[in-house]
C-alpha cells in the first residue's frame, strides 16, 4: 500500500505479482464460503430502494489514510459515520479492483482482488461489516462491457488460446491497414486495434487498453455470473453496472455517422442477457438493488430494463438530461444550457417511466460529470441557494436519488488553469483532437475546463487544511490537485452550520423516508413552458406535494401558480416561505420550496 502508483503498476508485470495473483485465486474459495456480514453478526436488512438514497464514492479522491496521495478503502471506513449522519442507505463505490488505472479503475485486470493502491481484501471485508453495522449497504461498480488488456483472459487470448480469444471481439480488417468498421472510440480515434500476430483487430469502444467482451459467448457470461456470486457471498447489497446496454452488438458494419452507436447500443440480445444474469445471480436475493448505466439509451428499452416485473434491473441511469449543454451529441463545445429542454427531458422520463411501472435513478452528479452547482447553478453570490435548489428538484422526484461525494457540500468545478493539471484520458485526448480541428490551445483548454470529468474527481473537501483533509499535511501530494476553494467550501464548516448545504441535503434525504408520497406518488409537471420555473406536483392516496424552484439568479413572478393555502412548507432554501396569492407566486433568486398537504 505504501508503494507509489507507478511502482504498483510496474509490479503487476513481474513474476512475483503473477504468483501472488495465483495464490489469490486459491483464497477465493475460502472467501466465497464465508459471508462477511454473517461473521460480524450483522442482520442483513432488505431496504425499499424507492425510499432509499445512494451516496456515490470515488475512492481515489475520497480519503487517503496511508499518505500516498491516493484515496483508499480505509479512508471510506474512516468516514462511515459522516455518511450515516447524512442519512444515505447505500454506498456506491466506483471500481477498486486490480487495474493499471488507464481509465481510473474502469479497466479491470482482476475482478476478485483489490488494487494495492486502495487496500486489501481484509479492508473490503471490514468496510462491508462496518457499513452493515450502520445499516448501510455496499453497492459495487461492475464493469462487464470490457476488461483491461492486462486481464488474464486477454493475455491468454493474445497467447493464442481459442477458448479465451472467443471472450473478445476479433475481426479481420476490410483491407490492408483498414479496420473492420469506421466506428469511433468514445475516447477518440478508431475503435479497433490491430494485432499483427493474428492479422486481426479487437474492438475497444473505450480506451485501446479496454478490450470489449464477447457476450455471445456463454462461457464468458458464466464467468461474469461467478464474479457476481462471489461478491454477493461477501455481503454486497447492490451492483451498479457500467455501460451495460452496450454489451450486445447488433453487427459490425460501417456507420454513415462514423460513431457506430446504432450498432452496439441497446443491442438485439441485451434483454436476454440481463434476464439471464438476473435469474442466475442477484435475482435470487430480493434485497439486492441494481442500477444500470445506460449509454445513449431509449426510454422504450428502459421500460424493460427497470420494469417492476420484467426481471432485469431495479433502476436505470439515463443521461439525456445532462446533454442540454451539448450540441446534439457533441460534448466538446461551449453552448448555454437549454432550460426548456432540461424540463422536457426530465418530465418525459418521469411520467412515461411511471406509466410503465419502471424506475429511474435520479441525479445531477457523478464521477463522469461536471459539478452541478457550476453547471446549472451559481458559484458566487447564490452558491448556497442554488446548490440547495438543485438538490430540491432531484430529491422530490419519482426515483431513487444519488448523491455524489461533495455534492452535499456544494463542491464546484476545478480551478485548473493548465492542461498539465488534468488527468482524465478522455479530456487529454480531446484537448489534442480539438486543436487538430482548428481550435487554439486556449479555446481547447476552456472547453476542457467546463466539461472535463476531472471536475468531479478532485479530492473531497473535508476541511481547510493543506490537502483539504483528504490527506495529512505531511502526505504525498494528492494524485490530482485540490480545489483552492476548499478553505471556504468544506464538510467541517458545514457540519457546524445548521443552515449549510449539508444539513439541507440531510433534511431532503429524511423527508423521503418520512413522506410516502415522495417514494410512491404519481407526478404531474407544472409550469411546463415557464422560462424560469421548475415545478411539479406529487400525489398519493389523498396526499399532495408541490415542488417549485426558480432556476435563475433573479427575482421572478410565477403567474398561474397553484394555490398553496392550507399546505405546509416542509422544506425550502429561504428562511421564510415564498409569497403566493391569487395564482401569483414571487420567487427569489434560486428559491426552492416544497409544500405538503
Q: Quick one: three-class SS letters along 482-538?
A: CCHHHHCCCHHHHHHCCCCHHHHHHHHHHHHHHCHHHHHCEEEEECCCCCCEEEEEE
Q: How far apart are CA 405 and CA 386, in angstroms?
A: 17
592-596/543-550 β-pairing? antiparallel
- Look up residue 506 and give its three cell numbers: 440531510
CB 73 within 8 A of CB 59: yes
Cβ within 8 Å of residue 115, ≥6 positions away: 8, 96, 97, 98, 99, 101, 105
Candidates 242, 378, 385, 544; catalytic one: 242
3-state secondary structure of 190: strand
> Is 126 among the residues known to form the active site?
no
Q: How far apart are CA 369 and CA 318, in angstroms?
A: 13
Q: How far apart are CA 521 and CA 87, in angstroms?
A: 21
Per DSSP, 378 falls in state -
Candidates 110, 293, 368, 424; catalytic one: 293
- Look up residue 252 and give its three cell numbers: 459490425
Burial 293-326 (b: 16+ CB within 10 A, else e): bbbbbebebbbbbbbeebebbbbbbbbbbbbbbe
Inter-helix orientation angle 441-451/425-436, to 10°:
150
Separation in Å, CA 233 to CA 38, 133, 251, 531, 552: 10, 17, 36, 51, 48
The candidate with the shortest Cα–Cα distance to 596, out of 575, 555, 568, 573, is 568
> Is 407 among the residues known to form the active site?
no
The candidate with the shortest Cα–Cα distance to 428, out of 102, 89, 200, is 102
Q: How far apart are CA 231 and CA 240, in angstroms?
A: 13
Rg (CA), the chain: 24
Q: How far apart are CA 401 and CA 508, in angstroms?
A: 10
- Look up residue 456 and give its three cell numbers: 468531479
The candidate with the shortest Cα–Cα distance to 425, out of 100, 118, 102, is 102
User: How many Å from the N-terminal Cα to the C-terminal Cα in the chain?
Assistant: 54
Q: How far apart are CA 291 and CA 402, in angstroms?
A: 11
Cite the active site residues: 242, 293
Amino acid at each position: 500500500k505504501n508503494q507509489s502508483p507507478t511502482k504498483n503498476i510496474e509490479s503487476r508485470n513481474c513474476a512475483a505479482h503473477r504468483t501472488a495473483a495465483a495464490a489469490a485465486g486459491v483464497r477465493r474459495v475460502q472467501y466465497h464460503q464465508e459471508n462477511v456480514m454473517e461473521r460480524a453478526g450483522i442482520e442483513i436488512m432488505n431496504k425499499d430502494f424507492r425510499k432509499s438514497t445512494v451516496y456515490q464514492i470515488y475512492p481515489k479522491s475520497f480519503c487517503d489514510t496511508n499518505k500516498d496521495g491516493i484515496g483508499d478503502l480505509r479512508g471510506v471506513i474512516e468516514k462511515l459515520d459522516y455518511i450515516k449522519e447524512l442519512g444515505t442507505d447505500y454506498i456506491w463505490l466506483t471500481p477498486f479492483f486490480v487495474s493499471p488505472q488507464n481509465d481510473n479503475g474502469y479497466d479491470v485486470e482482476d475482478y476478485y482482488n483489490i488494487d494495492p493502491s486502495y487496500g486489501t481484501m481484509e479492508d473490503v471485508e471490514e468496510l462491508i461489516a462496518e457499513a452493515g453495522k450502520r445499516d448501510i449497504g455496499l453497492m459495487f461498480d461492475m464493469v462487464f462491457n470490457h476488461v483491461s488488456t492486462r486481464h488474464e483472459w486477454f493475455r491468454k487470448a493474445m497467447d493464442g488460446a481459442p477458448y479465451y480469444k472467443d471472450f473478445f471481439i476479433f475481426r479481420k480488417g476490410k483491407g490492408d491497414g483498414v479496420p473492420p468498421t469506421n466506428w469511433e472510440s468514445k475516447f477518440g480515434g478508431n475503435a479497433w486495434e490491430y494485432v499483427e500476430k493474428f492479422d486481426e483487430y479487437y474492438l475497444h469502444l473505450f480506451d485501446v487498453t479496454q478490450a470489449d467482451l464477447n457476450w455471445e459467448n456463454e462461457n464468458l457470461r458464466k464467468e461474469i455470473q461467478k464474479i457476481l456470486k462471489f461478491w454477493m457471498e461477501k455481503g454486497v447489497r447492490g451492483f451498479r453496472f457500467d455501460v451495460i446496454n452496450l454489451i450486445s452488438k447488433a453487427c459490425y458494419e460501417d456507420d454513415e455517422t462514423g460513431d457506430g452507436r446504432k450498432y452496439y447500443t441497446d443491442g438485439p440480445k441485451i434483454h436476454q442477457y440481463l434476464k439471464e444474469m438476473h435469474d442466475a445471480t442477484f435475482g435470487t436475493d430480493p434485497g439486492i438493488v441494481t442500477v444500470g448505466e445506460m449509454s445513449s439509451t431509449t426510454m422504450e428499452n428502459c421500460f424493460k430494463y427497470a420494469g417492476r416485473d420484467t426481471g432485469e434491473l431495479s433502476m436505470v441511469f439515463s443521461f439525456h438530461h445532462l446533454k442540454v449543454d451539448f450540441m446534439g451529441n457533441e460534448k466538446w463545445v461551449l453552448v448555454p444550457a437549454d432550460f426548456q429542454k432540461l424540463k422536457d427531458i426530465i418530465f418525459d422520463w418521469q411520467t412515461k417511466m411511471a406509466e410503465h411501472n419502471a424506475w429511474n435513478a435520479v441525479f445531477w452528479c457523478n464521477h463522469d460529470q461536471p459539478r452541478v452547482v457550476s453547471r446549472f447553478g451559481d458559484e458566487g453570490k447564490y452558491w448556497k441557494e442554488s446548490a440547495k435548489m438543485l438538490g430540491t428538484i432531484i430529491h422530490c422526484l419519482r426515483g431513487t436519488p444519488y448523491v455524489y461525494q461533495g455534492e452535499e457540500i456544494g463542491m464546484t468545478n476545478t480551478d485548473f488553469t493548465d492542461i498539465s493539471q488534468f488527468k482524465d484520458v478522455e479530456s487529454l485526448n480531446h484537448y489534442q483532437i480539438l486543436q487538430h480541428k482548428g481550435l487554439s490551445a486556449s479555446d481547447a483548454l476552456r472547453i476542457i475546463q467546463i466539461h472535463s470529468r476531472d471536475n468531479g474527481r478532485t479530492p473531497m473537501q473535508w476541511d481547510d487544511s493543506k490537502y483539504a483533509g483528504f490527506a495529512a499535511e505531511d502526505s504525498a501530494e494528492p494524485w490530482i490537485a485540490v480545489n483552492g476553494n476548499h478553505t471556504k467550501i468544506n464538510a467541517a464548516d458545514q457540519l457546524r452550520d445548521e443552515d449549510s448545504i449539508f444539513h439541507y441535503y440531510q433534511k431532503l434525504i429524511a423527508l423521503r423516508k418520512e413522506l410516502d408520497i415522495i417514494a410512491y406518488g404519481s407526478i404531474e409537471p407544472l409550469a411546463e413552458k415557464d422560462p424560469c420555473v421548475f415545478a411539479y406536483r406529487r400525489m398519493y392516496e389523498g396526499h399532495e406535494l408541490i415542488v417549485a424552484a426558480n432556476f435563475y439568479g433573479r427575482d421572478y413572478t410565477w403567474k398561474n401558480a397553484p394555490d398553496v393555502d392550507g399546505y405546509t412548507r416542509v422544506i425550502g432554501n429561504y428562511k421564510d416561505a415564498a409569497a403566493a396569492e391569487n395564482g401569483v407566486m414571487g420567487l427569489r433568486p434560486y428559491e426552492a420550496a416544497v409544500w405538503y398537504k
